Structure 1
């Protein structure tokens, strides 16, 4: 992994649970591979199954997601996930906190970038 990829993976760990809950709140329900694609399309990068599926299991065990197996159309079945009432409450409580934190971090980094450009 490159240093940039390592840094992005660290950032993603801090917000992945909220991002998954937010995607499921928006879509209603989804399955692992599609959630991974949606995260990548959102600009959060590739989330491998070894990271995503344990996270989905933890969220389900915590009562934040519900799941159901469904037969596939000519293929294997899929486990579909949807956000639970508890997941919606957690998202409503924690998303504003994350947004404030991310905004503050962005402000600090942007100030530093301006100073570095001025003195460089």
Structure 2
């Protein structure tokens, strides 16, 4: 419904138009940290490896997004780091989940299916109306 139609019906409203790229950015921001945690749950990985993995899925568009996220995860005690020598150049910082990080990822995984199902249900119902 247009704002004009709603105004004619006596409704005061404000509809914020979110550009498609902004919408995707908002959705990505909510899930990206858990995707990073899932990528390191079994094997520690270094940042560039994570950038490549996330880039192939379309979840990460810039490196500038990942480094602050990794710093925040480390500061929050969800990941720990270890410097390792590299045969291809300088030492690399590897990221690994802590026990707290594993618990946070498990909690996200248990809630994700029901959350996704609820959103899908509402979106599908909305298209039927």
Q: 1:8 aligns with which of 24, 29, 42?
A: 24
> Stretches of 4+ moved more than 4 A in 1?
none
Query: RCO higher in 1 or 2 (8 Å CA, sep ≥ 6)?
Result: 1
Residue of structure 1 equivalent to 2:90: 76
Is 1:17–2:44 an aligned residue pair? no
Residue of structure 2 equivalent to 1:35: 50
Distance 1:39 1:103, change over 3 A: farther
Q: Which of structures 1 and 2 has the bigger CA Rg?
A: 2
Would you say how many aligned residue pairs link Structure 1 and Structure 2?
111
Structure 2, unaligned runs of 5 or more? 1-18
Asked if structure 2 preserves the Cα contact closer than 8 Å seen for 1:64 and 1:84, the reply is yes
**How far apart, CA to CA, are the structure 2 residues paired with 1:109 and 1:44?**
23
Note the alpha carbon deviations across 1:42-75, whole angstroms, 9 max, x for none: x343342211111111111111111111222241
**How far apart, CA to CA, are the structure 2 residues paired with 1:89 and 1:44?**
26
Structure 1, unaligned runs of 5 or more? none
